[in-house]
């Protein structure tokens, strides 16, 4: 079996940069465990406004910053920062922007109200990560996206970046958010927000109506090649079965085993589907 050696994590949140949660703690522990199996990992997360840059020793990567991403007709500057977790041998890239990240918490403001631009923030984070990876020229076999904030990445990778050298053969894994009460209505301008290159709302027609932010999780699952859940969840397990997606539930006692098995299985299937090279000629000229 062909093993997936390079894993890109597009993570909604990571401990210790944000408070402990099902997602932040699981993936803070999973990523080093995957690296210990001989894999190389790179990790991207949003630079939420609650992250203290001085305490966590973030610094801007000038050579990667400065691009402008257009979301629904408006320009937003991409700022890339980096920090590390020495104890876990993890380097983390942060996607930052004055409009979407600075001074803002994760999903809701300090009064508990949803940010109006949550879908735009997701689109900016996902596109910012993908564009930065193109600059780095690092080619991952597996892209593992975690949380609603990363859910548009599978959609973009399959619809807008499908022919990019960095992602042409990548297999996509998605881990949906659990217990976040994502009842925020979808924005009226959803069609414009998520349109990019060939990626368009019409591609999501099989999902039916997209009414709340929880449906962004459905988009991620629909476009992914496999699903990894951080806990037993009948709703998402049933949804994955209906979509005919392979599912793995992370074993907290052995974080890497089942997840890495899924990475390798999906990557091996991708390798097997490659067109076979034509037989080389015998050296005679005609």
Mean pLDDT of the chain: 92
Bridge partners, residue 8, by sequence:
42, 143
- Specify the range with the lowest mean pLDDT, choosing from 10-19, 35-44, 229-238: 229-238
Pairing mode of beta strands 79-85, 74-77: unpaired
- Whether 79 is in a domain gets the answer yes
- Whether 261 is in a domain gets the answer yes
Average pLDDT over residues 57-68: 95
Position 281 confidence tier, pLDDT thresholds 50, 70, 90: very low
The pLDDT value given to residue 99? 92
- Whether 146 is in a domain gets the answer yes
Contact 225, 171 (CB under 8 A): yes
The CA-atom distances, in angstroms, between 271 and each of 35, 164, 165, 265, 268 are 22, 17, 15, 10, 5
What is the crossing angle of helices 214-223 and 152-159, to 10°? 40
Provide the sign of the torsion angle of the four alpha carbons 180, 183, 184, 186, taken in this order. Answer: positive
Q: Which residue, 213, 32, 205, 209, is CA-closest to 108? A: 213
- Whether 278 is in a domain gets the answer no
- Whether 226 is in a domain gets the answer yes
pTM over 0.85: yes
Position 78 confidence tier, pLDDT thresholds 50, 70, 90: very high
Structure token pair of residue 89: 């041998």
**For the domain that residue 127 is a member of, what is the CATH number?**
3.40.50.2000
User: pLDDT digit string (tens) for 15-31?
Assistant: 999 988 989 999 999 99
- Whether 232 is in a domain gets the answer yes
- Whether 118 is in a domain gets the answer yes
Domain count, the chain: 1
User: pLDDT digit string (tens) for 183-210?
Assistant: 999 999 999 999 999 999 999 999 999 9
The pLDDT value given to residue 277? 59
Q: Which residue, 270, 272, 248, is CA-closest to 34? A: 248
Domain hosting 69: range is 6-271
On the question of pLDDT at 274 being above 60, the answer is yes
Position 88 confidence tier, pLDDT thresholds 50, 70, 90: confident
- Whether 259 is in a domain gets the answer yes
């Amino acid at each position: 079996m062909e093993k997936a050696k390079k894993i890109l994590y597009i993570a909604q949140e990571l401990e210790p940069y944000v408070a402990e949660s099902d997602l932040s703690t699981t993936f803070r522990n999973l990523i080093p465990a995957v690296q210990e199996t001989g894999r190389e990992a790179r990790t991207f997360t949003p630079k939420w406004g609650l992250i203290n840059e001085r305490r966590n020793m973030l610094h801007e990567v000038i050579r990667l910053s400065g691009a402008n991403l257009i979301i629904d007709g408006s320009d937003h500057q991409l700022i890339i920062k980096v920090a590390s977790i020495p104890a876990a041998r993890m380097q983390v890239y942060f996607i930052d922007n004055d409009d979407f990240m600075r001074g803002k918490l994760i999903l809701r403001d300090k009064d508990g109200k949803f940010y109006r631009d949550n879908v735009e923030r997701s689109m900016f984070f996902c596109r910012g990560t993908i564009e930065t990876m193109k600059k780095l020229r690092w080619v991952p076999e597996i892209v593992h996206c975690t949380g609603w904030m990363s859910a548009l990445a599978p959609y973009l990778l399959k619809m807008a970046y499908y022919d990019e050298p960095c992602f042409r053969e990548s297999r996509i894994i998605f881990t949906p958010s659990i217990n976040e009460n994502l009842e925020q209505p979808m924005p009226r301008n959803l069609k414009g927000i998520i349109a990019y290159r060939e990626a368009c709302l019409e591609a999501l027609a099989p999902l039916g109506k997209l009414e709340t932010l929880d449906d962004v999780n459905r988009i991620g699952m629909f476009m992914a090649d496999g699903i990894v859940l951080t806990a037993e969840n009948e709703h998402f397990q049933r949804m994955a079965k209906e979509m005919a997606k392979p599912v793995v539930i992370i074993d907290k006692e052995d974080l890497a085993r089942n997840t890495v098995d899924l990475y390798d299985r999906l990557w091996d299937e991708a390798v097997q589907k490659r067109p076979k090279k034509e037989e080389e000629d015998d050296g005679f000229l005609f």
